[in-house]
Amino acid sequence: MRQENLPDKALVQFNCTGHATGKMRNELTVEMIKPFRESFTLATDEGPFHGGDASAPPPLALFVGGLTGCLMTQIRAFAKRLDVTIDDLQVETRVIWNWQKTGPVYETAPHSFEIDVLLESPDPTEKAIALIKTAKKGCFIEQTLGQANSIRHRLRQADGYIDI
């Protein structure tokens, strides 16, 4: 579906179903169901630290890759609309988490997100800055990370779900 055919406002919804298939491997089916349908099959695994076989990227690699790819996509898509020439584009993303052992497990918290945009363009710097600012606003993942979010977890039982 082309952007011209989309309404002025829409909900964008992705659903993911994961199934444990190996020591630590997960097979994931990711579906975009709104505003149109697309489906993807992905896998994650962990390395020996968590008892996995490293047969697929770990979830954090997909997360950082998703953030980087999201911003790059928006920069290239919006460059056409904002009439900014891109001769070359690279994005270098660093995500750091705090990790702390807590008994037999550990707890994590975000420490920092840093994104360097290496954009080669014959256009004035002001146009490149405007493009990046616009792309940031259009990147679903960056917009999600930039605000407080609540995530609902439920455990399915025979008689329904329990909120956790």
Q: What does the pLDDT look like over 71-85, one tens digit per residue?
A: 999 999 999 999 999
Q: Per-residue confidence at 8, pLDDT binned at 50, 70, 90?
A: confident
Position 158 scores a pLDDT of: 96
Residue 149 amino acid letter: N
- pTM, 2 dp: 0.87
- Express each pLDDT in 127-148 by its tens digit: 999 999 999 999 999 999 999 9
Q: Name 159's Cβ contacts closer than 8 Å, sequence gap at least 6.
A: none
Residue 61 amino acid letter: A
In order of start, what are the domains of the chain with their CATH numbers?
1-57 (no CATH), 58-164 (3.30.300.20)
Q: How far apart are CA 131 and CA 75, in angstroms?
A: 7
Q: Which residue blocks in 43-147 are alpha helix, DSSP H?
A: 59-82, 125-138, 140-145
C-alpha dihedral, 34 to 39 to 41 to 45, nearest 10°: -10
